[in-house]
């Protein structure tokens, strides 16, 4: 058990960063008075050659990146051990490296993980979050020059789970980082997929999918820090909502520093409202300090089913219910099919079918 | 032998200021094997007729009836109309992102035939229909109508016509946006279906150009929400020369 020594401010809900989040449902993760467990709950099965996983003391693996998020600061202070996953340089790991967290219980817990991807290594890590948990975690991902790394975080929590997390990638010269963040379960999920660059020629592709039903709050706050020249970023998040008080929040902050000449960035968020009583907030923010860029753009749409699409499918004999399913599957397939891992794709599409079956119940 | 019977059909559409009447009593009977050209100026209500029969939710039927072999089409849901044997080739086919043509066709054919097509014969069936329409096999893996050219969209509509095998097809401005070669390929597709299946056709068009390829048995002039003149193919020739002026002023 740990308590904090620092006299942190507790978010009141009036802060810009917290104004959408239902603080009363966080299980105390944001409140320094509430006791939290300091445990490593991520488990790995067989690790391929070239991959090592170990626990190191917190003082042996200080945080590399900056944060001003109060919960993440709390994790950093409270944690005694860090899970360190290292992928050897030049290694090509064909099979995805799987870390799972299953049913770790409803006592609040904190965790910190660091993933180091060696230069010119190629690998994929999948983090599977299932069962019940009240969790705040930070994952820092360091890509050495020339690395190519895919990070997949699946939130398939039970309905009572709370998950606050930061996935921060530091992308080296000519390295490319791809992420898929899929949130389809939990009571409150608030994730901060963030990126900064450590060298030119680096690129980030941040993809996300979420499907919130009755009462679920799913929040994804993306921050791409174009701090260096000649880096690229693409953000594409898609969500569906259905049922009373289903709430999703997507924040897309892209900051292009004065030094970041040659930046190429585009971010996109699309939300599909499947019923009354659901709410999607979508806020793209683009701040540009130099005009010497390749491109910078964003788009955000939130809307209902396209009646013309449904009519087209139905006019070919396809019943309305199947037509709706085709359209939603298609909506998500655009992102999920890019994962290129058949078992994961099938599982996620089945999960989406399952969520869809709840619509109209 | 099938009969589509439209009697005194009246249709309105909701606007900001209330309902606007578009069809003012349409009477038309189409039987298997017959081709009826519906010709008229823009805004005369031709497309409204097509979409009302197919069941588009935008239109409100205020009077009259539509039956297919005696069954009340207007009481059917959109998909039920297709299952009953109606097909609408749209002027502006809709993009459906993330849904492949092959998945879409298989789903539609399964719904219409009431059972999934046998995998072995199905692949060949689609392939030969695509070849006849001069379509690249890679087309099947693209998303429905997404990024299709005007000609590709119309070929895709006729491909569906060939595979779904309806009793009565409504072709809404299928000729629009097609160059001469595409128009010929698409028209040959329609004629092929007609030869093989005794298809009844309602061919909606603004221009007489497509009638050189798809020969109508009857020509109906549509103006101001109703049929104002009827005749044989010779009526199309008259329209080619004189245009629609006399019907608009009338």
Look up the domain containing A71 and give its range.
23-305
Closest-CA distance, A320 to chain B, in angstroms, reads: 7
Query: Would the CB atoms of B81 and A315 count as touching at under 8 Å?
Result: yes
Query: Would the CB atoms of B104 and A316 count as touching at under 8 Å?
Result: yes
User: What pLDDT, on the 0 to 100 scale, is given for residue A152?
Assistant: 98
Query: Would the CB atoms of B97 and A331 count as touching at under 8 Å?
Result: yes
User: What pLDDT, on the 0 to 100 scale, is given for residue B205?
Assistant: 94
Whether residue A147 lies inside any domain: the answer is yes
Number of domain units in chain A? 1
pLDDT grade for A357, boundaries at 50, 70 and 90:
confident
Closest-CA distance, B215 to chain A, in angstroms, reads: 26
User: What pLDDT, on the 0 to 100 scale, is given for residue A12?
Assistant: 86
CB of A268 within 8 Å of any CB in chain B? no
Chain B interface disruption, residue of A238, A315, A329, most B CBs within 10 A: A315
Query: Would the CB atoms of B78 and A320 count as touching at under 8 Å?
Result: yes
Structure-token match 């693996």, residue found: A61
Determine the angle formed by the axes of helices B150-164 and B119-132, rounding to 10 degrees: 140
pLDDT tens, position by position, for chain B (250 residues)? 999 999 999 999 988 888 899 999 999 999 999 999 999 998 899 999 999 999 999 999 999 999 999 999 999 999 999 999 999 999 999 999 889 999 999 999 999 999 999 988 999 999 999 999 999 989 999 999 999 999 999 999 999 999 999 999 999 999 998 999 999 999 999 999 999 999 999 999 998 999 999 999 999 999 999 999 999 999 999 998 888 888 876 4
User: What pLDDT, on the 0 to 100 scale, is given for residue A311?
Assistant: 97
Q: What is the mean pLDDT of chain A?
A: 94
Give the model confidence (pLDDT) of A132-157 as tens digits.
999 999 999 999 999 999 999 999 99
Give percent of chain A with pLDDT exceeding 70. 97
Give the pLDDT mean for A255-262: 97
Locate the chain A residue with the closest alpha carbon to B164.
A316
CB of A333 within 8 Å of any CB in chain B? yes
CA torsion A114-A120-A124-A129 (nearest 10°) is: 10
Instruction: Quote ipTM for the complex.
Output: 0.96
How many angstroms separate the CA atoms of B219 and B56, rounded? Answer: 25
Whether residue A348 lies inside any domain: the answer is no
Whether residue A229 lies inside any domain: the answer is yes
- Give the torsion sign (CA, A20, A23, A29, A30): positive
Closest-CA distance, B241 to chain A, in angstroms, reads: 36
pLDDT surpassing 60 at residue A3 = no
pLDDT grade for A360, boundaries at 50, 70 and 90:
low
Residues A191 and A183: beta-carbon distance below 8 Å: yes
- Which residues in chain B are contacts of A309 at CB distance < 8 A? 94-96
- Which residues in chain B are contacts of A306 at CB distance < 8 A? 94
pLDDT grade for A195, boundaries at 50, 70 and 90:
very high
pLDDT surpassing 80 at residue A8 = no
Residue B245 has phi, psi (to 5 degrees) of -55, -45
Closest-CA distance, B47 to chain A, in angstroms, reads: 15
Locate the chain B residue with the closest alpha carbon to A325.
B99
How many angstroms separate the CA atoms of A222 and A205, rounded? Answer: 12
Structure-token match 């690998």, residue found: A123
- Which residues in chain A are contacts of B56 at CB distance < 8 A? 311
Whether residue A73 lies inside any domain: the answer is yes
Q: What is the DSSP string of A336-355?
A: HGGG--HHHHHHHHHHHHHH
- Which residues in chain B are contacts of A317 at CB distance < 8 A? 79, 82-83, 108, 111-112, 164
- For B107, the closest of A306, A307, A326 (CB atoms) is A326
Locate the chain A residue with the closest alpha carbon to B143.
A330
User: What pLDDT, on the 0 to 100 scale, is given for residue A2?
Assistant: 47
Give the pLDDT mean for A216-231: 98
How many angstroms separate the CA atoms of A200 and A263, rounded? Answer: 10
Query: Would the CB atoms of B111 and A319 count as touching at under 8 Å?
Result: yes
Whether residue A282 lies inside any domain: the answer is yes
Predicted TM-score (pTM) of this structure: 0.86
Give the pLDDT mean for A220-235: 98
User: What pLDDT, on the 0 to 100 scale, is given for residue B247?
Assistant: 86
Query: Would the CB atoms of B77 and A314 count as touching at under 8 Å?
Result: yes
CB of A299 within 8 Å of any CB in chain B? no
Query: Would the CB atoms of B160 and A316 count as touching at under 8 Å?
Result: yes
Query: Would the CB atoms of A317 and B90 count as touching at under 8 Å?
Result: no
Q: What is the 3-state secondary structure (H, E, C) of A237-265?
A: EEEEECCCCCEEEEEEEEEECCCCCCCEE
Give the model confidence (pLDDT) of A298-342 as tens digits.
999 999 888 999 999 999 999 999 999 999 999 999 999 999 999
Whether residue A98 lies inside any domain: the answer is yes
Locate the chain A residue with the closest alpha carbon to B161.
A316
Query: Would the CB atoms of B94 and A309 count as touching at under 8 Å?
Result: yes
Whether residue A339 lies inside any domain: the answer is no
Whether residue A9 lies inside any domain: the answer is no
Q: What is the 3-state secondary structure (H, E, C) of B116-142?
A: CCCHHHHHHHHHHHHHHCCCCHHHHHC
Query: Greater confidence, A37 or A158?
Result: A158
């Amino acid at each position: 058990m740990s308590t904090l020594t620092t006299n942190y401010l507790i978010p009141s809900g009036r802060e810009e960063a917290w104004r959408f989040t239902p603080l009363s449902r966080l299980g105390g993760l944001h409140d320094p008075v509430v006791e939290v467990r300091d445990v490593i709950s991520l488990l790995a099965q067989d690790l391929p050659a070239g991959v090592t996983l170990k626990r190191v003391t917190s003082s042996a693996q200080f945080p590399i990146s900056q944060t001003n998020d109060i919960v993440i600061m709390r994790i950093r202070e409270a944690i005694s051990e860090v899970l360190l996953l290292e992928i050897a340089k030049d290694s090509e790991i064909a099979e995805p490296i799987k870390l799972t967290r299953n049913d770790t219980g409803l006592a609040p817990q904190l965790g910190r993980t660091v993933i180091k991807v060696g230069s010119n290594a190629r690998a994929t890590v999948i983090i599977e979050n299932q069962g019940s948990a009240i969790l705040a975690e930070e994952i820092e991902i360091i890509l050495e020059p020339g690395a190519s790394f895919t990070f997949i975080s699946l939130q398939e929590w039970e309905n009572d789970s709370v998950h606050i997390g930061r996935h921060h990638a530091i992308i080296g010269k000519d390295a490319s980082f791809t992420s898929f963040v899929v949130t389809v379960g939990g009571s409150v999920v608030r994730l901060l997929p963030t990126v900064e660059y450590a060298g030119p020629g680096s690129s980030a592709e941040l993809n996300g999918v979420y499907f919130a039903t009755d009462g679920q709050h799913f929040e994804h706050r993306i921050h791409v820090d174009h701090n260096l020249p000649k880096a690229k970023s693409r953000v594409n998040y898609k969500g569906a909502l259905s049922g009373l008080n289903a709430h999703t929040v997507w924040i897309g902050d892209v900051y292009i520093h004065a030094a970041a000449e040659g930046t190429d960035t585009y971010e996109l968020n699309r939300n599909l409202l499947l019923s009354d009583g659901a709410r999607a907030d979508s806020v793209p923010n683009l701040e540009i300090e130099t005009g010497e860029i390749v491109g910078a753009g964003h788009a955000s749409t939130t809307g209902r089913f396209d009646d013309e699409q449904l009519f087209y499918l139905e006019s070919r004999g396809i019943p309305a219910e199947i037509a709706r399913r085709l359209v939603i599957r298609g909506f998500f397939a655009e992102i999920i099919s890019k994962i290129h891992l058949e078992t994961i794709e099938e599982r996620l599409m089945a999960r989406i079918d399952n969520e869809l079956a709840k619509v109209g119940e | 032998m099938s009969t589509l019977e439209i009697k005194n059909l009246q249709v309105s559409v909701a606007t900001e200021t209330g309902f606007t009447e578009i069809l003012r009593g349409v009477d038309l009977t189409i039987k298997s094997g017959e081709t009826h050209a519906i010709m008229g100026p823009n805004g005369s209500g031709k497309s409204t007729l097509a979409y009302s029969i197919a069941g588009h939710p935008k239109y409100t039927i205020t009077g009259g009836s539509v039956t297919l072999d005696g069954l009340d089409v207007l009481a059917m849901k959109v998909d039920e109309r297709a299952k009953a044997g109606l097909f609408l080739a749209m002027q502006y086919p809709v993009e459906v992102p993330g849904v492949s043509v092959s998945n879409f066709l298989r789903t539609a054919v399964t719904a219409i035939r009431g059972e999934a097509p046998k995998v072995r014969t199905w692949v060949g069936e689609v392939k030969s229909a695509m070849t006849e329409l001069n379509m690249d096999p890679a087309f099947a893996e693209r998303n429905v109508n997404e990024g299709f050219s005007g000609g590709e969209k119309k070929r895709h509509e006729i491909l569906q016509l060939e595979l779904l095998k309806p009793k009565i097809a409504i072709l809404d401005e299928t000729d629009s946006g097609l160059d001469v070669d595409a128009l010929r390929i698409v028209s040959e597709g329609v004629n092929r279906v007609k030869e093989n299946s005794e298809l009844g056709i309602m061919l909606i068009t603004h221009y007489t150009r497509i009638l050189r390829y798809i020969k109508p048995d009857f020509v109906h002039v549509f103006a101001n929400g109703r049929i104002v003149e009827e005749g044989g193919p010779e009526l199309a020739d008259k329209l080619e020369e004189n245009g629609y002026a006399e019907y608009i002023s009338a």
